[in-house]
Structure 1
């Protein structure tokens, strides 16, 4: 995770960002601290990436890489405003002994990649259409040695995979069908017949931008209907308030890069 010490909405690179809407920096830090403390309280270890001035979106740490078995496939950001973040993530991983694969193709890390180690022998779901380019999926497959399933995102409000789909455990997912092309919806239905489906109201509340450890599902507090659906499916929802960071187009998952050493 990376503190939102420099968080601001100074430009608009997704439909949720509005530079004219005021941001409360102190509240953003308080809400982020609440998320970090929630994860620690659930028994998870949280490592920190130092925020850098001039990079207001660094708080969205998930976008810096995707990791599998000690290898980090790094990010190459679509927009110039975020491009310098990639070097900070690379330095963090290399300083800690990870094998780091620098990308050639544009991709935004776990923003557009979800790893399920027990689904069909282990696979990566990968989004494209707005940020990550399709050739990056092949590059990730070579870097990480896992089959990659490409999913076409068609609604600009769901510009990253991680606002439209999330891994609930090692083999199953929750997603909002309307974020995907008809063909990609068919693929998801074939791969995950028991998937949890989210309603549009919860998807638009960033309810799918969640983190799950297979039992506890940490998600935006506004996604109340989805919390009930997850509870009925046997998971334990853990709501958190991140409304201030949502002004930047992200929520729980965007703030958390999952480490798989």
Structure 2
């Protein structure tokens, strides 16, 4: 039995970290004052100071990993602006802006596009409703694009025209996993074959989408319901280290078996707004 365990460890590939540049927004105005997803309960109190402390721990982890972390100023009256992943999608110096489904978040789109312009990105203003990296995930050479709750399928056509990449449409069916980045974690973006790899929650997708994922990523990590329920999949990887919800213990074990180095962080207060690690993280690709 010991020999089998030893050979399994030996078989895990050596993971090589790549440096990341990310955009974050300090949750100075975070609260839950409206309900636009099943996680949000305005009748329950939130603790802004705790949200800030937890966010600062995530910020510290990224800095310790050698990430370049850029910041956008929070705007009063926009409590969800901390979820910077929804602010757009960037690739090769081009930023595709967000156009939010709900009026409560609408002003975030222009705010993030202004930031992109001021920091050297060419900006493509969206026509279709989309919520940025919440529903668009770069995996290797292709873009996985979610629809079903927030981003319109028309935004996927905009992505194809703007970036000239393969864009794979995936349909979400469980309202608790309303953005693609709550149901899929990107583990590798720079694998040798250009395909990358993921972890995901099968029940979050319709049958057609599950079949596509199974075909594209036969080695994907399957995450259980318990880990998904604490937004364990809402994680961020540099191809070696994977920053995840600290309570996603099964996912953590699976990552270790694959040769990744999971790093747990407690963002329980921000979870009250329906967001986790990835929601607070917008990757900048210049």
Deviations 1:43-86 (A, max 9, x none): 10100000000000000000010111111111000000000001
For residue 147 of structure 2, what is the aligned residue in structure 1? Answer: 128
Contact 1:73 1:144 (C-alpha < 8 Å) held by counterparts = no
Aligned to 1:46, the other structure's residue is in SS state strand
Q: Based on CA coordinates, which of the two structures has the bigger radius of gyration? A: 2
Q: Aligned residues, how many?
A: 257
Distance 1:203 1:153 in 2: 14
Distance of 2:176 and 2:160 partners within structure 1: 27
2:258 maps to 1:219:
no
Q: Does 1:65 align with 2:84?
A: no
- 1:230 equivalent to 2:249? Answer no
| Residue 144 of structure 1: how far off its partner (Å) | 1.8
Shift of residue 143, structure 1, vs aligned partner: 1.5
Give the equivalent residue in structure 1 for 2:166. Answer: 147
Q: Distance between the aligned counterparts of 1:142 and 1:20, measured in 2?
A: 43
Q: What secondary structure sits across from 2:256 in the alignment?
A: helix
The unaligned stretches of length 5 or more in structure 2 are 1-23, 190-195
- SS of the aligned residue for 1:91 comes to helix
Kindly report which structure 2 residues correspond to 1:72-221, keeping only aligned pairs within 5 A, or say none.
Answer: 72-117=95-140, 122-170=141-189, 171-221=196-246
Alignment equivalent of 1:31, drawn from 46, 51, 54: 54
Following superposition, the deviation at residue 220 of structure 1 comes to 0.5
CA displacement 1:85-136 (0-9 Å, x = unmatched): 011100110011111110000000000000023xxxx110000000001111
The answer on whether the counterparts of 1:57 and 1:248 sit within 8 Å (CA) in structure 2 is yes
How far the C-alpha of 1:33 sits from its partner, in A, is 0.3
User: Within 1, Cα distance between the matches of 2:211 and 2:222?
Assistant: 13
2:31 maps to 8
What's the counterpart of residue 21 of structure 1?
44
Superposed CA RMSD: 0.6
Contact 1:6/1:53, CA 8 A, preserved across alignment: yes
The question of whether the paired residues in 2 share the 8 Å contact of 1:64 and 1:75 is answered with: yes
Counterparts of 1:33 and 1:185 in 2: how far apart (Å)?
36
Question: Normalising by the residue count of structure 2, what TM-score does the alignment of the two structures yield?
Answer: 0.89
Task: Tell me, in whole angstroms, the C-alpha distance in 2 between the residues paired with 1:144 and 1:17.
Answer: 34
- Counterpart of 1:44 in structure 2 is 67
- State the distance in 1 between where 2:131 and 2:269 align: 22
Work out the CA distance in 2 between the residues paired with 1:254 and 1:199.
20
**C-alpha distance in 1 between matches for 2:124 and 2:164:** 12
Segments of 4+ moved more than 6 angstroms: none
**Counterparts of 2:207 and 2:226, CA distance in 1:** 20
- Unmatched 5+ residue regions in structure 1? none
The residue number in structure 1 matching 2:267 is 242
SS in 2 for 1:33: helix
